[in-house]
Amino acid sequence: MKYIVVVENKAQLPFVAEHGLALLIEHNSKKILFDTGASYALVQNATTMGIDLSTIDTIILSHGHNDHTGGLKHLSDNCTIYASPDISKERFSIHQSKPISNISMPEEAKEKLLNSNWIKNETLSEIFDGVYLSGQIPRISDEDTGGPFFLDTTKSSPDFIIDEQALLFAEGVLFQGCCHSGIINTLTHLKTNCPSIKIHTIVGGLHLVHASEKRLEQTANCLNDFGIKKLHLLHCTGENAIEYLSYKCKNIEIITPQTGDVISCNLK
């Protein structure tokens, strides 16, 4: 089992960096595209790597933000897409002293989604043999998973990003898009519903870029308590968080892949 980083925030020539995420996962005989980045970087980087995007027939969209769904418009109409029914909602990021940002799935991506075989997933499901999609992740811990996300520009309707899902393999590898539900809630949800799977590797963004020290401490304690062995930290994790986790999680191997990297998910 391995994955290829097709879109990520960091890249070196000849690859293109983009604020977004797209991972091509190769597992047994299947190729699964986990998220699609924000725009044309998906196509440009795939071409550079010799990846034929037309051969990909399974796409997982972790959630509806444009930096994970924007590249969808470049993919085949024949794809099967697994995503939440709530993924196409209009949504906004509203930071103090910054302009309001529409971070919804782009209209062309929504059109592609509607014209594809869209499997609307809400609950934990085994989508292939030994491959599980988490469904909606309950927020049951006191972990601070908030952020400046809203369903309207007046900030009257907070966006809890209930559409976010994680992808779990029976081999013990967990893929995250942004982990807006929080890694504590995610690991708890999966341990409850998939108790036979011992998660040892987490790949993706953990959305800790603006996390408080309290949340970072909670996260580090959780990762240690769950016996995680490897963290492949990408996209929205944040440099400060990576530094903190490297200090607090001495028994966890931490790497920060970049666009173009091909990474094995073997435990050894």
d(CA 163, CA 2): 26
Per-run averaged pLDDT (10 residues), the chain, 268 residues = 96 95 94 96 97 93 97 91 96 91 96 94 96 95 84 94 96 97 96 96 96 94 97 97 97 97 85
DSSP H or E stretch at residue 113: helix 107-115
pLDDT of residue 16: 96
Amino acid at 117: N
Q: Please tell me the predicted confidence (pLDDT) of residue 268.
A: 59
Nearest CA-CA partner of 6 in 45, 33, 35, 34:
45
Q: What is the pLDDT of residue 141?
A: 86
- Report the pLDDT value the prediction gives residue 51, as an integer from 0 to 100: 96
Return the residue matching tokens 């944040």: 238
Looking at residue 147, its pLDDT comes to 83
Structure confidence at residue 206 (pLDDT): 97
| DSSP 8-state secondary structure symbol assigned to residue 106 | P
Strand segments (E) across the chain: 2-7, 22-27, 30-34, 58-60, 80-83, 92-93, 101-102, 117-120, 125-128, 131-133, 149-150, 167-169, 173-176, 201-204, 230-233, 253-255, 262-264
Would you say the pTM of this structure is higher than 0.75?
yes
Helices 239-248 + 213-225 axis angle, to 10:
50
- Helix, strand, or coil here: 125? strand
pLDDT computed for residue 98 by the predictor: 86
